[in-house]
Structure 1
């Protein structure tokens, strides 16, 4: 039986004249009370990247009514910043997902009803271009309608602030507070009214061209690209998303003329009909691309997710096989290429700094030491890299060189404040060409050289999906269990410190110390050889993620250590998974 709060919410949606008949019919068709409970036991919440959830009717689902309520709450936050903020407006973009275009237009029309200007792209665009557009238009904020790499049943609402980075925690809290005050009946202007009043402006090519100019400026060896790029064979898949036009454009204008785009995945498709999930981290997403790569004997495979902020990479090895590079491996290769090249050719700024997320590989620490560049770690979510860039600009202390996170996100330059797969594709292609032409190496040769120099580091993320209210409770139990665990070894590896990021504390050598790091919901274990385990509930999905980093004497030793560590670790919490 449904509890009273859930029942009241459910009945409100069934009886209120505000909700349309299709929504009511969807709810009436539900026969499983657990489904009703999951849809109404809570409101969908903000996480590290805004709001994301399964599509459908209910307070805990993504739908037109939630978009309206969320946008109305956001509009009130903007209005609190005065008339200038309202006039500066909000940039809005969307990807190829179900209802993305409808949600984007509804966002614009709700903003317009609140007297806030909206700059809406005329067709689908990438997340990094949205980030760029906020800065280009001097907008107060931005909204990206996307669920990134999630399955087709999901959509989401990413919110950005005036610096082009995802919304800081303070503004996110303000929106959530406004949502608690806001009812479901939200005013919406018609498209015709919004256009006539000048509160809705459609944007397109002019912004595209400015964005592409900034991406172009980040390349290190454009002359080499123009001279030799035609010799590099590239297979690319946009996985039915927003990346195709701009990835093809940046590569072709730099001389990479041998680009083969997977035809079955070239066009936008909200059903993502050729893949289980449109995620470049998923091996199944590469099947078609690999088939064509083998036929064409391609040197490089690139894949972008639906909103084109994540870039996946596979490359042909010196043995003619294809190797799938992890986000950590691509990040280290790009860091070595970008910072190493700049250091050798024109020197680095004295205050240069590299950024990475706290769950990304420990190998970067070794590389940063060799390059004599400080490495700063930030919480999970590229907005924290964006925050650091902003702080550098405001204080005049620090020059951003490169930043990455293990979940396939990379950025060079400050034109945008989110990871950019369009730039990533160009940089990976350029790095592959550079190492091939100048050093006679493949990208895997470069990676193996880094392992030979600094030690073999192997990283893996394990994500466990735990749906609904029960799943959320089990995730909480897992985090509490790990925080209380006091073992000295896992998988034979000695634990030298425990990090309780939510409390800002670190237990090391029997002493509880203050942790100089933002308070986030992560429990960490650090091993004697530099590796780690970190556990983190997702802020935008019903998942808990476990990040493993182990060091070994060569690949086989690292693989054995990783498997032993995972087995030992999961044996403790298997009853909760």
Structure 2
């Protein structure tokens, strides 16, 4: 069906309300109409994410309804009876409406729903699925995307985001929902009257927060000195405000200053157009506050509170936003060294990272005789490993992280968790403070010991149908037409995760990659630098990850500058081939 036919179908359907039709009729730009209807918003391996608006390629109650009906059909086919789904939502525009639409759709299919009374962080949804023994979970969020986006993430009964096998099965059911009349629904009041809709809140909060506090490693240190730590926290208009502050308060961190301008939920993100703690601009207000407060640590959580970014002061007295790799390396070392010192580090301990995350973590893990496992990009693969460890009982998960500011300790949550990370970051900062060193000093100590690792992410935005085609063509060019060197630096290995083959370009030997297939390429060079290219799973972008290692900060910065230039030339060629 061509996009105009779909457009007309929406305009003529009795099941599409008049306000939706008016929005569509008011579009005068033909390219805009095409972009809204040239495809259906895809229920990918994690769910939906798209721009809010009417159309088959947008986030609205109809596309949410289609996805939820498919999920309902999948659950009814798999479990037959005693099915419940837990649902949470964040502060984004339409999040509550989409959550209620999903809830009433499930109830209309005879599925019981546990819906949070108000916004909650994504990791709390993960916990709730397990706590209430739900068969699935849904969280309405677009994480750190700009305000025009919203999304829909699906979770399995283990509390982790659905991974590839389950996602494919759900997608097959979603694709069968090819007519609006197949989407069942009932009113919110009817769902409550029939006791299909259960509103949840404080009981879950208490249980979850007790678990989080139980992850404190150096309890005596925190009990005795927590109130000495000076903290500035910004929720960036999201769902972290209450739970982050509550857990810190209950642990004794009394000296917590909140960025008032970013304290309240606000789906328009009026002080942060890109509400992402990876973006240094979100900390501008906090940094102004820091001039007077002189905090030991500044941190911010994204709208659904699964990512966290931190700001520290360097030895020149200047504030520096750490990368996700740097924070992850600091936490990996603090957790492993502390557990080792306290004789609490199991022999079968495992740290997990993604294939685009710093190799500094591998060096740290090796120092403590801890196994390090690489997984594909996406925290769902870390959650999947935790599930496997639990089922087999052969390994003990300690910590996992990804370069995009996601971290998780403990196994009662199966997704990245900024509340847990906030607690551990505060404890780590307090520990080093009592030893008379800063987090910056601790980071430099790691570099001095293991090498000056430097990583960088380049995001190339390519909007619309044409952009998606360009991304696909660029990956194919890199897959088949790459030279075997970058200047004088030879490429020694190529990992093609689409065909699961690692090729040694010097010996021409091939090895099987034991990971799920994904359209990702990784190139390893002779000097241990590497780069990865992949399409974003949540945004219209191609992402390029770079890594180099130097013998000083200056050396690694110079190497990165040269490496980035060489890689960008190849990427530019690939995008314009």
Q: TM-score range by the shorter chain?
A: over 0.9
Q: Distance in 2 between matches of 1:50 and 1:357?
A: 20
Q: Distance in 2 between matches of 1:366 and 1:393?
A: 26
Displacement after TM superposition at 1:134 (Å): 0.3
Tell me, what secondary structure is at the counterpart of 1:570?
Answer: helix
Displacement after TM superposition at 1:48 (Å): 4.8
Match in the other structure for 1:455: 451
Q: Distance in 1 between matches of 2:391 and 2:164?
A: 19
Alignment counterpart, residue 384 of structure 1, candidates 373, 381, 385: 381
Match in the other structure for 1:108: 103
* Per-residue Cα deviation, 1:307-338 (whole angstroms, up to 9, x for no partner): 00000001123443211111111101000001
Match in the other structure for 2:494: 498
Give the count of matched residue pairs.
571
- Please state if 1:465 is matched with 2:455: no
Q: Compare 449-458 and 224-233 and name the one that shifted more.
A: 224-233
Contact 2:354–2:401 (8 Å) recurs in 1: yes
* Per-residue Cα deviation, 1:50-92 (whole angstroms, up to 9, x for no partner): 21000111111000111111101100000012333xx240000
Displacement after TM superposition at 1:539 (Å): 1.4
Tell me, what secondary structure is at the counterpart of 1:253?
Answer: helix
Q: Distance in 2 between matches of 1:21 and 1:235?
A: 47
Q: Distance in 1 between matches of 2:448 and 2:299?
A: 26
Match in the other structure for 1:518: 516
Alignment counterpart, residue 303 of structure 1, candidates 285, 300, 303: 300
Match in the other structure for 2:208: 211
Displacement after TM superposition at 1:541 (Å): 1.4
Tell me, what secondary structure is at the counterpart of 1:459?
Answer: strand
Match in the other structure for 1:573: 571
Contact 2:407–2:418 (8 Å) recurs in 1: yes
- Please state if 1:333 is matched with 2:330: yes
Q: Distance in 1 between matches of 2:103 and 2:550?
A: 52
Match in the other structure for 2:133: 138
Q: Which runs of 5+ in 2 are unaligned?
A: none
TM-score by length of 1: 0.97
- Please state if 1:11 is matched with 2:8: yes
Q: Which runs of 5+ in 1 are unaligned?
A: none
Contact 2:400–2:407 (8 Å) recurs in 1: yes
Match in the other structure for 1:251: 248
Q: Distance in 2 between matches of 1:349 and 1:168?
A: 28
Contact 1:276–1:284 (8 Å) recurs in 2: no
Query: What aligned pairs does 1:37-436 form with structure 2 within 5 A after superposition?
Result: 37-84=34-81, 87-182=82-177, 183-185=179-181, 186-436=183-433
Q: Distance in 2 between matches of 1:563 and 1:18?
A: 55
Moved over 6 A (4+): none
Contact 2:75–2:83 (8 Å) recurs in 1: no
Displacement after TM superposition at 1:392 (Å): 0.5
Q: Distance in 2 between matches of 1:300 and 1:78?
A: 45
TM-score by length of 2: 0.97
* Per-residue Cα deviation, 1:156-206 (whole angstroms, up to 9, x for no partner): 000000000001212211222112211223221111111111110000000
CA RMSD of aligned residues (A): 1.3
Q: Distance in 1 between matches of 2:413 and 2:360?
A: 26
- Please state if 1:483 is matched with 2:469: no
Q: Distance in 2 between matches of 1:45 and 1:77?
A: 17
